[in-house]
Amino acid sequence: MLQPIAAGFIAAISGFATSFALVIAGLQAVGATQEQSSSGLLTLCLASGILTVVLSAAYRQPISIVWSTPGAAVLVAAASGGTSFSTAVGAFIVSGVLIFVCGLWPALGRAISRIPKPVASAMLAGILLPICLAPVAAVAEFPLLAGPIVLVWLILLRVAPRWAVPAAMLVATIVIVASAGTDWLPRASLAPALVFVAPEFDPFVMVSLGLPLFIVTMAGQNVPGFVVMSSFGYPAPSRAIFLSTGVASTVGAFFGGHAVNLAAITAAIAASPEAHPDRSRRWIAAVVAGSVFVAIGLAAGVATALVSESPPILIIAVAGLAVLGALVSSITSALEEPDHRMAAIATFLVTASGITALGIGSAFWGLVAGALFMLWLRPRPVGRGLVETAPPQ
């Protein structure tokens, strides 16, 4: 029992430490107060942990549910759109309902998975690029604060890659506490509470935030999660996962949570032989990870107060280190098909530009640009005087 328990602790702690700062930064970027951000983080921890325990125990598979890290990046990217948190919550609800519909109507899930990979990957890369630039800006602006964080991350990236981001977050915590003193402690709630947020449904925000949140959660988290589970020999129950995470995301939105989904990296820890040589015993690691995630959620108030005390660029810098690997894989995936590279680059540039047109953010327009480029540059049929052409490289 010791091996799956240890693997579960590692999965939960590394999963939380690598991206909780990005979640808080994302919620605050779309207008959440400190109390609402704390509530959102607690909601995500509770939903992820409880679903992980229930699904893993019910199906005897290491089914790990986590918050949508690419979704949090979408929130950060939406910071310049003037979104209120009430309208953002409305977009969260739309995204959750769409995930639930994927469970009722499998054709929708298949349609999302068939969005051309170069376009979907390029959109995610465009969302992640400004976040991954933050470490550079942070070192330039706060060298004494950001320098040690990046240095520790760089050293551990060489000797212990799995712990590089958690260690960077630990150093960031030490740096923030040392620079802020104890003034922030009275604002840290040791007993975080769920804060209800009344949603507002703004059509433009639903399109510019809700739709990209749904797409990156499906394409950037759920699809890779199923691939990871399949690679370790587990036929993950897609219907149950979509229905349960859709309900949890929808209900959790009323308390500030943006989305939960099937994990990929955390799932790999719990589903791999590192968790247990016997494949039928690895579900225990996921149950432990879910239980630890619930317990960690009780520290949401302290974590949010600490993040709120830090210069925003410093927190985004840590988040940038956490998603740098995702940026690399997204760019690689976007450019691996020569015929679609121009469409991928167009999607990437439009998304990374951060533009807002007609009240709709750049992630949506990036998808539109990619689709138009793919249609315009598709090979012409041979015959009737037409010749087949390849898009410019």
Average pLDDT over residues 104-109: 80
On average, the pLDDT of the chain sits at: 83
Residues in the chain: 393
For residues 311 and 324, give the distance between their C-alpha atoms in angstroms, rounded to a whole number: 20
For residues 40 and 24, give the distance between their C-alpha atoms in angstroms, rounded to a whole number: 8
Q: What pLDDT sits at residue 8? A: 81
Neighbours of 327 (CB within 10 A): 20
**Weakest mean pLDDT among 140-144, 178-182, 263-267:** 178-182
Domain boundaries along the sequence of the chain:
2-376
- pLDDT of 389 higher than 60: no
For residues 257 and 92, give the distance between their C-alpha atoms in angstroms, rounded to a whole number: 8
For residues 377 and 386, give the distance between their C-alpha atoms in angstroms, rounded to a whole number: 14
Q: What pLDDT sits at residue 380? A: 65
Q: What pLDDT sits at residue 388? A: 45
Q: What pLDDT sits at residue 190? A: 60
Average pLDDT over residues 307-330: 77
Give pTM, 2 decimals. 0.76
pLDDT, tens digit, 9 for 90 and up, residues 120-141: 788 878 878 887 888 898 899 8
User: pLDDT grade, residue 387 (50/70/90)?
Assistant: very low
- pLDDT of 385 higher than 60: no
Neighbours of 278 (CB within 10 A): 10
Higher pLDDT, 27 or 109: 27
Percentage of the chain lying above the pLDDT 70 cut: 89
pLDDT, tens digit, 9 for 90 and up, residues 179-228: 766 565 555 556 678 899 999 999 988 988 998 899 889 877 888 788 77
Q: Is 54 exposed, middle or buried (0-12, 13-18, 19+ CB in 10 A)?
A: middle
